[in-house]
Structure 1
Amino acid sequence: MNDYLILASLFICHILGDFYLQSKAMVDAKHFGQKRKPLIVFDQELGVMIAHLLHIALHALVMAFVLYFLRGIEVIRLSDTNLYLAILAIALGHLVIDLLKSGWRLKMMSDDNAVITLVGDQMAHLMWILIVWAWLFDDLNNFSGLLTVNHLVIFGAYLLVLRPTSILVMLLLSPHTPKNGDNQIPKAGKLIGYIERAVVLTLIFVDQYTAIGFIIAAKSVLRYGESGGNNTKLNEYVLLGTLASFGIVLLVGILARVALGFEV
């Protein structure tokens, strides 16, 4: 089981490095051809390369910290050679994929395919991690009972339905975003989305699908009451965001239940 623990750990490291430890400014700094004031160097392309290298260094540090920590408490067992090879191979592969994505964005010169680009980019990263894992660790058979695959699957599922899902829903809604007034609480929508997706995922794990319907109904009634049913565009925007958010959480939760061996 040790090899699957390592795989789950590498996936979590990727989610942390790509979503939770990377700000929007860091993402923008990796895009070729954007009109912005360089932060480190005056040459724009060199600045983009430096931003990519800093991002890769961050990923490598996250992987090193997590793998060393898990090995130190004897959750996983792996040699120094395999540990260094895994970090180096995944970091270099991540750099190549990110550079290809940046080149694709420059070629397209449009954010119309932002959702496809994000999903394709993340699938490429996860596939590369799987390839490196199969190369280095698939023949390991050690197991530690301190931390199980089930724990990491659940933790990874919660990570996926928070910031990554928030970004994906934001991209899905960006073409339909209504103009907001000044009477809204800053970032309230993002916090509400975090909480509701965490609650829904928890309900999925405890097999309480009926309660999810009550949450959707209550939110829909509340939003409809705020606008009095007069703002059709706002109502459709909220409904689209709610269905997209809940749909993604349901998919992640069901896949996690399948991975854990639960009945769906």
Structure 2
Amino acid sequence: MPETLAALLFAHVLADFVFQTAWMVRHKRRADGLALHGLVVLATAMAATGGFDPGLLWLTALHVGIDALKARSKGGLAAFMADQAAHLAVIAALAFGRPDIWAGGLWAGATALPALMAVAAGAILATRAGGFAVGLLMGPFAARLPEAITAESLPGAGRVIGLLERGLIFALVLLGQPEGVGLLIAAKSILRFGAVRDDRALSEYVIIGTLASFGWALVVAYATLSGLAALPPLGIRAVAP
């Protein structure tokens, strides 16, 4: 079952956070938008498991149904988290009910592949999915900041910084160097201190965003380590302290 779960999770993050276009997101209230996204979900699931299983049709149908419900919600962080939790529950149910999907696929002989998929899925969840989650959390706070402050920022710089810091945290934890996260926090605090020390609203905004970003990456990283413990090892030596 762990191999099937890893493959299905990898397929999910690819479908939702890599191959899902802005057009699909905007048109999820339309049949064509949902149908196109559903085809991506099915294609990634077949590619990740190395074959076709009827359970993947069930997975795709439920994925589309969950997205249709979310498209009619008010949006926001709660809707995003509920949507992803529902998808993960469906994936877990399918992996539990049909644990042989991986064994019947083309990649069954590649014993290290499920662990690689788990690491890749974790990296995407930590960086890309984390960006959406933190952005939704910070949206209401950003709307209250003065326009003069937000106008001074480089376009897209905050998003890139978030991707880099979450990616670094994920890598540090998986490499057995979680102490490096403390150095990353210290470095960011020093670099940000001069810009925010005289503005309480901006300093609170930065603190909330930083804690949310770091916390998300740490949770995903340690969840990935837990998943890897149930899979055949990659054979990569841990980095010495």
Same structural fold, with TM-score higher than 0.5 when normalized by the shorter chain: yes
* Separation of aligned partners in 2, 1:175 and 1:182: 17
- For residue 132 of structure 1, the aligned residue among 86, 91, 94 is 94
**1:92 match:** 61
* CA deviation profile, 1:25-58 (whole Å, cap 9, x unmatched): 4212214xxxxxxxxxxxxxxxx12211111112
**2:199 match:** 231
Q: How many residues align?
A: 223
**2:44 match:** 62
Q: Does 1:101 align with 2:35?
A: no
Q: Does 1:10 align with 2:34?
A: no
* Separation of aligned partners in 2, 1:230 and 1:175: 22
* Separation of aligned partners in 2, 1:171 and 1:127: 22
- For residue 32 of structure 2, the aligned residue among 50, 65, 75 is 50
For 1:106-117, what aligned pairs fall within 5 Å after superposition? 110-111=74-75, 114-117=76-79
For 1:232-251, what aligned pairs fall within 5 Å after superposition? 232-251=200-219
Task: Please say if residues 10 and 48 of structure 2, whose CA atoms lie closer than 8 Å, have aligned partners that are also in contact.
Answer: no
Q: Pairwise CA RMSD of aligned residues? A: 2.3
- For residue 112 of structure 2, the aligned residue among 147, 153, 156 is 147
TM-score, normalisation: structure 1: 0.76
* Separation of aligned partners in 1, 2:101 and 2:16: 28
**2:20 match:** 22
What letter matches 1:246 in structure 2? F
The alpha carbon displacement at 1:11 in A equals 0.8
**1:158 match:** 123
- For residue 154 of structure 2, the aligned residue among 172, 178, 185 is 185
* Separation of aligned partners in 2, 1:182 and 1:251: 32
* Separation of aligned partners in 2, 1:155 and 1:183: 35
Please give the secondary structure, in 1, of the residue aligned with 2:70: helix
* Separation of aligned partners in 1, 2:36 and 2:109: 34
Structure 2's unaligned 5+ residue stretches are: 231-241
Query: What percent identity do the matched residue pairs reach?
Result: 29
What letter matches 2:229 in structure 1? G
Q: 1:140 to 1:176 in 2, by over 3 A?
A: closer
* Separation of aligned partners in 1, 2:119 and 2:101: 24
- Farther-moved stretch of structure 1 (234-243 vs 141-150): 141-150
Please give the secondary structure, in 1, of the residue aligned with 2:154: coil
Please give the secondary structure, in 2, of the residue aligned with 1:54: helix
TM-score, normalisation: structure 2: 0.83
Q: Does 1:253 align with 2:221?
A: yes
Structure 1's unaligned 5+ residue stretches are: 32-47, 69-79
**2:170 match:** 201
**2:82 match:** 120
* Separation of aligned partners in 1, 2:228 and 2:57: 30
- For residue 190 of structure 2, the aligned residue among 214, 221, 244 is 221
* Separation of aligned partners in 1, 2:126 and 2:102: 30
After the TM superposition, which parts of structure 1 deviate over 6 Å for at least 4 consecutive aligned residues? Answer: 139-142
